[in-house]
Chain A
Amino acid sequence: MFEKTGRVTMNTKKSFKLDHKLKFYILMLIFPLAQLAVFYFAVNVNSIKLAFEEYDMYNNSYTFVGLKNFSQVINVILNESFMKTAFVNTFMIFGIGLIIMIIPILLSYFIFKKYFLHGFFKVCLFLPSVISSMSLVLCFKYGVDVAIPEIWKLVFGIEVKGLLSNNSTTLWVLIFYSVWFSAGSNFLLYLGAMSGISYSVIEAAQMDGVTPFQEFTKIIFPLIFPTFSTFLVTSFAGLFSNQLNLFTFYGERAEYRVYTIGYYLYKSVYMAQTADYPYLSALGLMLTCVAIPLCFITKKLLAKIGPSVE
C-alpha cells in the first residue's frame, strides 16, 4: 500500500513536473509561433493566393484567374525594356557586392589589429549607421551634386554637372553610396566575429613567426568563415529586394536607368491600388522561386568548399 501509494505520489509528482515544464514550454513558444503564423504564414499564403486571383472593385471581391497574372509578369519581363535594365542593374550590383565583400573583412581586420588610423576608419564606416538615412542622403546629395562641381570649378576652372544630375555617373554614385552605407553593419559583425577569436591562438601563431597575411588567411578568415558564409547566403536571399536606396534618394520618381528589381517591387507596392496586388504577388512569387534555389545551392557550396578551421 505504502509502495503503491508512494509510486502514485511519485507518478503524480513526475506528471505534475512534466505539466509544469510543458506549460512553460508552451508559454514560451506561443507568442513567437502565433507571430509566425499570422505575420509569416498567413501573409504568405494570402500573397500566394492573390497571385492566382483578380480584383473586382465594384463588388470588392476576388476571382480565380489561373495563371493570368504570371503570364502578365512574363510578358512584362520579356517585353518591357526597363525590366531588362532592372535585372541587369540588380545582377551587376549583386556582382559588385560579391567582389567587394572582402573590403569590410579587410577593414575589420585592419581595425582588429589596431593599425594606423584604425579609429578614423571606424568612424567613417560607422557614420552611416548612426545617422538617419534621410539626413545622410541629403548630405550626400549636396556633396556630390553641389560641392563636387563647385570644387571642380575652383580647382580646374571647368564647369561640370553634379554626379547625380549627370546621367552617365548617377548609377555609379548610387552604388558607391549603397556599398558605403551597408559597410557599417557588415563591418560590425565581422569585427565582432574577430573579437571572439581566442587571443592564445593568435599569440601561438605569432610565436611561430606567422606574417600578418598568413595570420589573416590561415587563422582569422577560416575562423570567421561562418559569418562570411551567412552574409553570402543572405545576400542571395536579398538579391531581388535590394533597392539601392533609390526610394530614399528619389521617392517614387527614380529614372528607369537606375532601377533595380527591388526598387521596382517596392515602388509598385507603395503606389499600388488593390487591383495591382495580384500582379505584384505573382511577380514576388516568381522571384522567390529564383532566389530560394540560389540560396540553397550557395549554402551547400560554401559548406563544401569553405576553409577548415582545423
Chain B
Amino acid sequence: MIKTKRNSVIRFFAIICAALMCFLSVSCGGANKKDPTKTYLYVYNFDGGIGTEWLYNAASRFEKLYAGESFEAGKTGVKIEIGPGKATLDTISKSPYNVFFSENVFYNDFIANGKVLDITDIVRNPLSDVKGCEETGNIEKKLFEDQAAALTALNGKYYFLPHYECYPGISYDRDLFNKKSFFIAERSSSDTIVKFTDSSGNLSVGPDGIRNTYDDGLPSSYEEFYAMMNKMVKYGVDPFIYTGQYSSYINYLLTGLWSAYSGKDAFMLNVNFNSGTGENAVPAKIVTGFNGDMPIIEDELISANNGYLMSQEAGRFYALSFLSTIMANSRYFSTKITDVLSHLEAQTDFVFSSLDDKPIAMIIEGSYWYNEAKDALKASANQFPETGVDRDFSIMPLPRKITGQVKEGEGTKNTLMDCLASYCFINANIKDNPVTVRLAKTFLQFLYTDAELINFTNTTAIYKAVKYNISENVINNMSKFGKHLSEIRAASDIIRPYSSHPIYVNAQSKFWYVGVTNAWNSKVKNNDGSITDYVSPLSAYRDKKTAIQYFNGINVTQKEWSSLYGKYFLN
C-alpha cells in the first residue's frame, strides 16, 4: 500500500518534470521561431568594449533598407540574427555564423587555411551597389595604403576588413583636473619647478608644442608627469586605477608610452623591418648600453637582417622605466586595485570616484572603455543628477620627452596606436550557398558606407579603422569623450601595426605588442647570474627587479632572430 503510494508520488513528479521540460522546449522554440518569408543572415559579434548596440542598430537599418528586396526565390526582405559573445575563432568552419566581427584576429592564418571568404569584389565594387547609397568610391579607397598592402600580402585578395580602432594608454577625468588644478602651467626658461593651474590659467603648450590645442596643460615630459602625480597624492587624489585581474592591461600603458616616444614611422619598423635608404630613411633609436641609469642611444637603420635590434628600442626602455618609477610608490595607485579587480569594476570605480569624493584621476585602459562603462556612467548620472551628468573624460596624449617642458614650436605630433587587431570577415563555410554569400557581402558593403561608419562612431565614440570624415555637426552632438577623441585622432599619426613583410605574414602573432601575446616577456638576469622569466614587468618590479634588468631581458639576439626568421632573409 505504502509502496503504491510512493510510486504514485514518483509518477506525479515525473509528469510534472516532463511537462516542465516540454514547456521550456516550446518557450525556446517560440523565441527562435524563424520567419519563413525572409532570408536570414547570422552575425557573430565580439561583445567586448565596443559592445553590440551599434550592430543591432545597423542591422535594423539594413533590414528596413532591404525590406522589399528578394535574395532568394519565394522570400522578400532580410533578417539579421546577431550573436554577441566572446568565443574563440578556432572552430569557425563549423560555426552557424556567417559574418564575424572580432578582435585579436591574426588574419593570415585564417586566409591560408581557407577559413574565410574572398571579398575582393565588394571591396573593389562601387559602394553605390548598396541600395540608396550615392557614394561613387569603393571600400578599397577607404583603406590606408599600408593597411591594404598588409591585408592582401598573402595572395593579393581581400578577405578581411578593418573593424574598429582602439588606442592603448591613459584616460583622465578633465573635470577633476580642472577642479583640483592638475593642469601644468607654462614655465619660464629659468623656472625649474613644475607649476600647476586650472584650465583657465596660463597652460603649458603640452607635448605637441602648439598653443590652444587638445593637449594644453598636459604633461609634456615624464618629469612633469611624476610632478603631477605627486601633486595628486598631496591633494588626496589617487593618480591611477587599472584592472588587477588582467595583467595584460598594464601593456596598454607600456605600449602607449612606447609608441608615443617612437612615433609612427620608427614604430612601424617593428613590423615592416625596412628603414629605407637615402634622405628618407627612418632610423630606429636603439639602446646599445647604459651609462649608470642613463641609456646610450644610437640611431640604426633596420632591415630584416637586423630586425632583432628593435627589441632594444629606446621607447621600450623609457616605457618600462616610467612604469618602474610609478610602481615604486604605492600611493600612485588606488587601494582598490587587487588581483581580482576586473576591468569593469575598475571603470566603475573610476567613474564614481570623484562623485563619491574619493577621486581617482586616471585609468589605464583602451580607448573603448567609455563605451564599455556606459552602464556605470548612466548609474552615476542617476545617482548624482547634478554632478554626474555630462562628465568630461578624455584619452590623454602621452609625453614624448623625458625631462623639462616642451616649449612652443618645439613639440612633436602625437602618435596613437591601433592595438586590438579588430576585423570583420565572412565565414568560408557558406561559399556553396550563393544566397547567403550575396546577403553577407551586401551587409558588409552596407556597413562600410560613410553613413554607417558615422553611425558606428556616433554610437560607440570609437572610430572604424578606415578613412571617413565626420562633420562638425555630428561631432558637436557627441559626448565630451567622443569630441576629445575626434580632436586628438585628427591631430595624431595612427600606427596600424600590420605589414606585408614575409616575416610578419608568417608569424603575425609574434609581432603583436598589446594584449595576450608575449610582447613584454623578459628573461631577467638576477644578481647571481641565474635567469628568471617574467610575463609582465608588474611581477618583476614586485620582485624588486629594475627597469634596466627587465629591458635587458627583452633582448633578442642575432642568433635567435636568424634561427627563427633567417629563412626569410638569408640566402
Contacts and interface: CB of A to CB of B under 8 A. Distances in A.
B108 interface: yes
A112 to B, nearest CB: 28
B507 interface: yes
Contacts of A81: 523, 530-533
Given A253-B516, A273-B509, A82 B542 contact: no
A57 B113 CA distance: 8
B506 interface: yes
B109 A274 contact: yes
A271 B109 CA distance: 12
Interface string A76-108: 000011100100000000000000000000000
A265 interface: no
Contacts of A176: none
Nearest to A72: B563
A257 B532 contact: yes
Given A273-B109, A275-B506, A85 B543 contact: no
Contact of B535 (A57, A58, A254): A254
A162 B155 CA distance: 51
A162 B542 CA distance: 13
Given A81-B533, A253-B247, A60 B112 contact: yes
Contacts of A250: 247
B339 A145 contact: yes
A296 interface: no
A177 to B, nearest CB: 14
A251 B246 CA distance: 9
Nearest to B539: A255
A60 B154 CA distance: 10
Nearest to B531: A81
Contact of A162 (B106, B339, B534): B339
B338 A165 contact: yes
Nearest to A61: B112
Interface string B480-510: 0000000000000000000000100111110
Given A253-B248, A275-B507, A85 B533 contact: yes
A141 B245 CA distance: 10
B340 interface: yes
A253 B539 CA distance: 11
A256 B535 contact: yes
B113 A274 contact: yes
B516 A274 contact: no
B517 A271 contact: yes
Contacts of A193: none
A273 B339 contact: no
B461 to A, nearest CB: 27
A29 interface: no
Question: Among the interface residues B248, B502, B532, which one has the most CB atoms of the partner chain A within 10 A?
Answer: B532
Given A254-B535, A255-B536, A275-B506, A165 B112 contact: no
A253 B533 contact: no
Contacts of A85: 533
Contact of B533 (A145, A256, A275): A256
Interface in B209-230: none
Interface residues of A, number: 29
Given A60-B112, A60-B113, A60-B114, A165 B536 contact: no
A243 to B, nearest CB: 15
Contacts of A274: 109, 112-113
Interface in A129-147: 138, 141-142, 145-146
Interface in B49-108: 88, 106, 108
Contacts of B339: 141, 145, 162, 164-165
Interface string A38-82: 000000000000000000011010000000000000000000111
A240 to B, nearest CB: 19
Interface in A216-253: 250-253
Contacts of B543: 167
B338 A162 contact: yes
B516 A256 contact: no
Interface in B516-571: 516-517, 523, 530-536, 539, 542-543
Contacts of A58: 112, 154-155, 502, 505
Interface string B242-265: 001011100000000000000000
A255 B541 CA distance: 13
A271 B516 CA distance: 9
B533 A82 contact: yes
Question: Among the interface residues B244, B338, B339, B534, which one has the most CB atoms of the partner chain A within 10 A?
Answer: B339
Contacts of A256: 532-535
A152 to B, nearest CB: 14
Nearest to B248: A253
A71 to B, nearest CB: 10
B114 A255 contact: no
A236 B542 CA distance: 35
Contacts of A60: 112-114
A271 B518 CA distance: 11
A299 B555 CA distance: 46
A267 B96 CA distance: 26
B428 to A, nearest CB: 13
Contacts of A273: 106, 109, 507-509
A184 B533 CA distance: 34
Given A142-B340, A164-B339, A253 B509 contact: no
A251 B535 CA distance: 12
A252 B516 contact: yes
A145 B155 CA distance: 50
B535 A253 contact: yes
Contacts of A254: 535
Given A60-B112, A256-B534, A257-B532, A271 B338 contact: no
Contacts of A271: 509, 516-517
Contacts of B113: 60, 274
Interface in B399-436: none
B565 to A, nearest CB: 12
Contact of A255 (B244, B516, B517, B535): B535
B331 to A, nearest CB: 13
B340 A57 contact: no
A270 B90 CA distance: 9
Contacts of B248: 253
Nearest to B510: A273
A202 B335 CA distance: 59
A167 to B, nearest CB: 6
Nearest to A252: B516
Given A57-B109, A145-B338, A145-B339, A253 B114 contact: no
Contacts of B340: 138, 141-142, 145-146, 162
B100 to A, nearest CB: 18
Contacts of B155: 58
Interface in A159-176: 162, 164-165, 167
Contacts of B112: 57-58, 60, 274
Nearest to A59: B112
Interface string B274-287: 00000000000000
A149 to B, nearest CB: 8
Interface of A: 57-58, 60, 80-82, 85, 138, 141-142, 145-146, 162, 164-165, 167, 250-257, 270-271, 273-275
13 contacts: A57-B112, A60-B112, A81-B531, A141-B340, A162-B340, A165-B244, A165-B339, A253-B248, A253-B516, A256-B533, A256-B535, A273-B109, A273-B508
Closest CB pairs A-B (n = 9): A256-B533, A82-B533, A81-B531, A273-B109, A57-B112, A165-B339, A60-B112, A141-B340, A145-B339
Given A145-B338, A162-B338, 13 more contacts: A57-B506, A60-B113, A60-B114, A81-B523, A165-B339, A165-B542, A167-B543, A251-B516, A255-B535, A257-B532, A271-B516, A273-B509, A274-B113
